[in-house]
Amino acid sequence: MRRRRSSAWVRDLVAQTVVTPADLILPIFICEGKGQGGIIAPRMSVDGVVTAAKEARALGVCAVMLFPVIDDTRKTEDGRHCADADNVLCRAVAEVKSAVPDIGVICDVALDPYTTHGQDGIFRDGRVINDETVDMLQRQAVTLAASGCDIVAPSDMMDGRIGAIRTAMDGSGAQHVMILSYAAKYASSLYGPFRDNVGSAACLGAADKLSYQMDPRNSCEALDEVTLDIAEGADMLMIKPATAYLDILYRTSQATNLPVFTYHVSGEYMMLKEAAKQGYLDFDKAYMEVLQSCKRAGARAIVTYGAMDVARSL
Ligand code: PBG
């Protein structure tokens, strides 16, 4: 076994997986007006997003994933601002697509940045209402598609939303727009820095998302979610989070020929950053090892906050 590990060239020659910039998807946060602050990543102005997308493409990154930070004054119980064609996300999508047409633009479909309660759906009488939420998600997806978004990525975990969004987009001339389904998204406690950055943490308070995001104790259910989303018309699938759910990523990638992506989420990224800051590990090495583990488990691409740094070093 050791002969093939004896020098760098033979290790490279027999390496089974490789991480390249084309494997990485860069998440970007956009806010109204000037860029301001940011915990896990900067909250950028629309101009800032265009510059970042240009730089990402030049480094070989194929796609960006855009998340809006919505002013509190625009948030409502039903999150209807998600379907306004002139909201900050739609404006950013249009600007990026006109300035950097050869980068893929992916947008999350879920209501949490737009709701006063921070839930991903319409919340009434103590529960998130499935079908009314799906109606709103259809409007959100159609609006994003019209603004030039290439891939809509429903991350809400409502039942039936993939088929409904496919139908709505097909009916509005957006047959070409792809759906990346967060098929198995777990009710994880690793989303904290993201929620702070988007501004949904304060709205959510002590509430949780356990009635729609998956129970971390379960795995078979993830494959049922995958089967349904494929049947409903998903073009690509996402497993989220990444490192604590590599078994789900592996099983999914074995079970389907569709491309399966994973999202290395904000809490996973911050754990590495903070541990490195304490001197417990070398960030670049540990981070690359984590990305390699995702590829080994079958991820075709990885959404990750360090995409630019890795692309630069590669
Ligand atoms: C919203 C959404 C979340 C993330 C991506 N889209 C948060 C949540 O579900 O509460 C988390 C990503 C991260 O932590 O990096 N639907």
Q: Output the tens digit of pLDDT for each of the chain's 314 residues.
A: 999 999 999 999 999 999 999 999 999 999 999 999 998 999 999 999 999 999 999 999 999 999 999 999 999 999 999 999 999 999 999 999 999 999 999 999 999 999 999 999 999 999 999 999 999 999 999 999 999 999 999 999 999 999 999 999 999 999 999 999 999 999 999 999 999 999 999 999 999 999 999 999 999 999 999 999 999 999 999 999 999 999 999 999 999 999 999 999 999 999 999 999 999 999 999 999 999 999 999 999 999 999 999 999 99
C-beta of residue 161 within 8 angstroms of C-beta of residue 122: no
Q: Which atom of ligand 1 is nearest to the CA of 264?
A: 15
Query: What is the pLDDT at residue 151?
Result: 98
State whether the beta carbon of 266 lies less than 6 angstroms from ligand 1: yes
Shortest-distance Cα residue to atom 8 of ligand 1: 191
Query: What is the pLDDT at residue 109?
Result: 98
Phi-psi region of 90 (alpha: psi -120 to 50; beta: other; left: phi over 0): alpha
Q: Which of 49, 194, 59, 204 is nearest to 128 (CA)?
A: 204
Query: What is the pLDDT at residue 150?
Result: 98
CB atoms within 10 A of CB 199: 20
Q: Say what angle helices 246-255 and 220-232 make with each other, to 10 degrees.
A: 40
Q: Which atom of ligand 1 is nearest to the CA of 213?
A: 9
What is the distance in A from the centroid of ligand 1 to the CA of 112? 9
Query: What is the pLDDT at residue 100?
Result: 98
State whether the beta carbon of 110 lies less than 6 angstroms from ligand 1: yes
236: amino acid identity, one letter = M
Which residues are known to be catalytic? 185, 240
What CA–CA distance (Å, rounded) separates 239 from 301? 11
Here the tokens at position 161 are 């939303």
Phi-psi region of 284 (alpha: psi -120 to 50; beta: other; left: phi over 0): alpha
State whether the beta carbon of 225 lies less than 6 angstroms from ligand 1: no
3-state SS, 82-108, equals: HHCCCCHHHHHHHHHHHHCCCCEEEEE
